[in-house]
């Protein structure tokens, strides 16, 4: 069974910074895409950023402020969040597209439990 565990959330002032971490564990052969999504109260879950071995992708709302990175040896993904705004307040979810078998190449999407980020005075 694959599990994703997020850490690093909390309360931060507008303009401040926060770094989220997510580590995947379990019977993992490889991970193609890792990413972060978020869901604010009353809103749909939305993509924040994703990272593959060679590319990153960001939502327009966070471009230039957030940086996603990964550590393949640790099966981990990080989200450095700078210049935070109140509208960044949400539960942030880590995800990973995981290959579980060396013989069968089906990828499965796993999600973390979510971690709360609150941007407020």
Show the CA angle centred on residue 46, arms to residues 100 and 15, nearest 5°: 115
Where residue 84 falls among pLDDT bands split at 50, 70, 90? very high
Quick one: the chain helix, strand, coil %, rounded to 5?
5, 55, 40
**In the prediction, which pLDDT does 54 show?**
83
Are 73 and 81 in contact by the 8 Å Cβ rule? The answer is no
pLDDT, one tens digit per residue, over 12-70 is 999 999 999 999 999 999 999 999 999 999 999 999 999 998 899 999 999 999 999 99
Averaged pLDDT score across all residues of the chain: 96
- Write down the pLDDT at residue 1: 82
């Amino acid at each position: 069974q694959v599990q994703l565990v997020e850490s690093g959330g909390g309360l931060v002032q507008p303009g401040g910074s926060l770094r989220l971490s997510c580590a995947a564990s379990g019977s993992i052969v490889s991970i193609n895409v890792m990413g972060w999504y978020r869901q604010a109260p009353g809103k749909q879950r939305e993509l924040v950023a994703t990272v593959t071995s060679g590319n990153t992708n960001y939502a327009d709302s966070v471009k230039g402020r957030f940086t996603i990175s990964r550590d393949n040896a640790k099966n981990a993904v990080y989200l450095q969040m700078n210049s935070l705004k109140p509208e960044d307040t949400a539960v942030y979810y880590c995800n990973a597209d995981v290959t579980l078998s060396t013989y069968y190449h089906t990828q499965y999407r796993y999600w973390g439990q979510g971690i709360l980020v609150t941007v407020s005075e």
